């Protein structure tokens, strides 16, 4: 039943590249990755240096505007973030439309998309100033929306942002403050959250970034394009992997599988070792290295011991010494240790992909901008190799 004529014709003309593993979909000056050597640089600066020295807002400005900000530029942008951290009261009703205990990723993607309705003047961005304003609104409001979605899921009153607090400190305040009671996160907690966001800020043409670029290539507005990225991030093979790692480790801890039994199931392809493997990295993911160190430090500084960390180490050791993983060059990726940090911060598992989305937002915005600024880009529209039935007649209902 296959239309050989069409298949032969297309096969001769088209490159068949399932999953686009060998297709360069665009030219980009934002992020460099060398997967064989385990190198990641944003605008030329190694991720290890950004992780050690940069704040999240500086990293975001580097990705989006192309260079690290001066003191004045950073202060001015911080001012814009504070100015735009509140949500329009009309937007608050959107939260009521979701079931209690609903998925925070659904709330995040819907409310981010709806932002366009409340800022119609930014649907068609015409100037660098308008772009800067849209960027500030998104980066500032995403953290308010994320924290509100968490509090809504617990039936707690919303905690409004405090313009005097730094980006990460303000987020923790909106998540965990209780009315009339002082709340002060530790320095270690704020530093760990900053690091988490910095290492997630961009990773070139991953699935959610490519989605944002694809949607943006139709000239869809920034809010809608970013919202589509959040949906792409949701799946467990991408941004959902950090939650899947915790689920996997919890099941192992509960005695459901021993490490060897679990790895045997992975090798029989009945299970996947979550937090391992990457389309580009065939070596240690540099972000996993940074996060592992940060998770160790955080647990040490807070005096909290997390049995899942021990389970993760045991699993990593066993996998790295196993021929199945060695021959396929499967190493821990960014998600293997990020969940341990989020747990230590008191963030529940259903918020993990939301945390990833807050971190990845600067990358999505930078790529949307590159896609829309570059006059040489075309609408993204891959081709296919048709494998369906050949031409056949319509059969009337009474003859089927």
Q: Which is nearer to ligand ACO, 138 or 330 (CB)?
A: 330
Neighbouring CB atoms inside 10 A of 10's CB total 16
Tokens of 344: 């230590």
Tally of CB atoms within 10 A around 44: 10
Work out the burial of residue 63: count CB atoms within 10 Å of its CB; fewer than 13 is exposed, 13-18 middle, 19 or more buried: buried
Contact region with ligand ACO (CB under 6 A), list: 23-31, 43-51, 164-172, 269-277: 269-277
Out of 87, 198, 263, 266, point to the residue binding ligand ACO (CB under 6 A).
266
Name the residue among 187, 160, 182 with its Cα closest to residue 171: 160
> Least distance from C-beta 172 to ligand ACO, angstroms?
23
By CB under 6 A, is residue 36 in contact with ligand ACO?
no
Our CB check for ligand ACO shows the closer of 43 and 238 to be 238
The one among 152, 278, 343, 367 contacting ligand ACO by CB under 6 A: 278
Q: Using CB atoms, what's the residue nearest to ligand ACO?
A: 277
The secondary structure element, H or E, covering residue 319 is helix 307-320
Positions in 223-262 near ligand ACO (CB under 6 A): 237-238, 241
Q: What is the distance between the alpha carbons of residues 287 and 337, in angstroms, rounded to a whole number? A: 9
Q: Is 278 a catalytic residue?
A: yes
Sequence-distant (≥ 6) Cβ neighbours of residue 6 within 8 angstroms = 386
The DSSP line for 21-60 is: TT------SSEEEETTTTEEEETTEEHHHHHHH--HHHHH
Coil/strand/helix, residue 332: strand
Q: How far is CA 222 from CA 202, 367, 380, in A?
A: 17, 10, 16
**Beta bridge pairs of residue 181:** 178
**For ligand ACO, which is the closer residue by CB, 88 or 326?**
326
Q: Of 202, 285, 306, 335, which one is the catalytic site residue?
A: 335
Q: Using the rule CB under 6 A, which residue among 148, 171, 276, 352 binds ligand ACO?
A: 276
Whole-number Å distance between alpha carbons of 111 and 92: 9
Least gap, CB of 268 to ligand ACO (angstroms): 10
Tokens 């910095």 locate to 198
Query: Is 335 part of the annotated catalytic residue set?
Result: yes
Report in angstroms how near the CB of residue 165 gets to ligand ACO at its nearest: 28
- Selected from 94, 151, 279, 380, the binder of ligand ACO by CB under 6 A is 279
| Of 115, 197, 230, 330, the one binding ligand ACO by CB under 6 A | 330
Smallest distance from ligand ACO to CB 321, Å: 15
172 or 341: whose CB is closer to ligand ACO?
341
Q: Please, which of residues 173-232 interact with ligand ACO by CB under 6 A?
A: 206
Q: What CA–CA distance (Å, rounded) separates 165 from 82?
A: 9
Cβ at position 28, least distance to ligand ACO in Å: 18
Question: Which residue from 111, 196, 192 is spatially nearest to 152, judged by alpha carbons?
Answer: 111
Interface residue with ligand ACO, options 333, 344, 351, 354 (CB under 6 A): 333
Query: Which structure tokens are listed for 388?
Result: 């369906």
Choose between 272 and 380: whose C-beta lies nearer to ligand ACO.
272
**Residues that contact ligand ACO, how many (by CB under 6 A):** 19
In whole angstroms, how close is the CB of 341 to ligand ACO at the nearest point?
14
| Angle, alpha carbons 111-73-122 (nearest 5°) | 35
Choices 95-103, 215-223, 271-279, 373-381 (CB under 6 A): range interacting with ligand ACO: 271-279
* Residue selected from 61, 105, 248, 273 as contacting ligand ACO according to rule CB under 6 A: 273
Q: Based on CB atoms, which residue is closest to ligand ACO, 77 or 262?
A: 262
* Catalytic entry in 278, 285, 367, 369: 278
Which of 104, 275, 359, 363: binder of ligand ACO (CB under 6 A)?
Answer: 275
Q: 334 with 340: CB under 8 angstroms? A: no
CB of 241 to ligand ACO, least distance (A): 4
Structure tokens that stand for 222 in this block: 């920034």
Asked if residue 39 lies in contact with residue 289, where contact means CB atoms within 8 angstroms, the answer is no
Q: What is the dihedral of CA 338, 343, 345, 348, to 10 degrees?
A: 110
Q: Which residues are catalytic?
A: 278, 335
Residue numbers at the binding site for ligand ACO (CB under 6 A): 19, 206, 237-238, 241, 266, 272-279, 328, 330, 333-335
């Amino acid at each position: 039943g296959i239309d050989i004529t069409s298949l032969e014709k297309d096969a001769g003309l088209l490159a068949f590249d399932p999953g686009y593993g060998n297709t360069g979909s665009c030219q980009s000056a934002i992020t460099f990755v060398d997967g064989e050597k385990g190198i990641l640089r944003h605008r030329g600066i190694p991720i290890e240096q950004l992780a050690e020295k940069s704040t999240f807002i500086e990293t975001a400005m580097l990705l989006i505007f192309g260079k690290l900000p001066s003191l004045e530029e950073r202060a001015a942008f911080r001012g814009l973030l504070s100015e735009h951290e509140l949500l329009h009261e009309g937007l608050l009703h959107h939260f009521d439309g979701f079931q209690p205990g609903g998925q925070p990723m659904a709330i995040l993607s819907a409310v981010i998309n709806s932002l366009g309705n409340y800022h119609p003047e930014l649907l068609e961005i015409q100037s660098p100033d308008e772009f800067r304003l849209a960027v500030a609104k998104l980066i500032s409001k995403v953290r308010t929306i994320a924290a509100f979605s968490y509090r809504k899921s617990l039936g707690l009153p919303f905690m409004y942002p405090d313009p005097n607090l730094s980006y990460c400190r303000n987020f923790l305040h909106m998540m965990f403050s209780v009315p009339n009671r002082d709340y002060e996160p530790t320095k270690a907690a704020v530093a760990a959250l900053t690091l988490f966001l910095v290492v997630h800020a961009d990773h070139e043409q991953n699935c959610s970034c490519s989605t944002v670029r694809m949607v943006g290539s139709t000239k869809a507005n920034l809010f809608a394009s970013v919202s589509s990225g959040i949906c792409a991030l949701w799946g467990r093979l991408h941004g959902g992997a950090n939650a899947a790692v915790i689920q996997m480790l919890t099941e192992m801890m509960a005695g459901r599988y021993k490490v060897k039994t679990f790895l045997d199931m992975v090798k029989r392809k009945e299970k996947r070792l979550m937090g391992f493997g990457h389309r580009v990295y065939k070596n240690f993911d540099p972000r996993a290295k940074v996060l592992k160190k940060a998770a160790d430090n955080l647990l040490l500084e807070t005096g909290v011991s997390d049995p899942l960390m021990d389970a993760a180490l045991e699993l990593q050791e066993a996998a790295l010494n196993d021929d199945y993983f060695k021959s396929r060059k499967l190493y821990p990726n960014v998600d293997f240790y990020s969940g341990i940090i989020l747990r230590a911060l008191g963030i529940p598992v259903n918020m993990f992909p939301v945390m990833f989305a807050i971190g990845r937002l600067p990358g999505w915005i930078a790529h949307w901008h590159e896609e829309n600024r570059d006059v040489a880009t075309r609408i993204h529209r891959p081709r296919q190799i048709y494998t369906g039935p050949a031409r056949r007649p319509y059969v009337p209902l009474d003859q089927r």
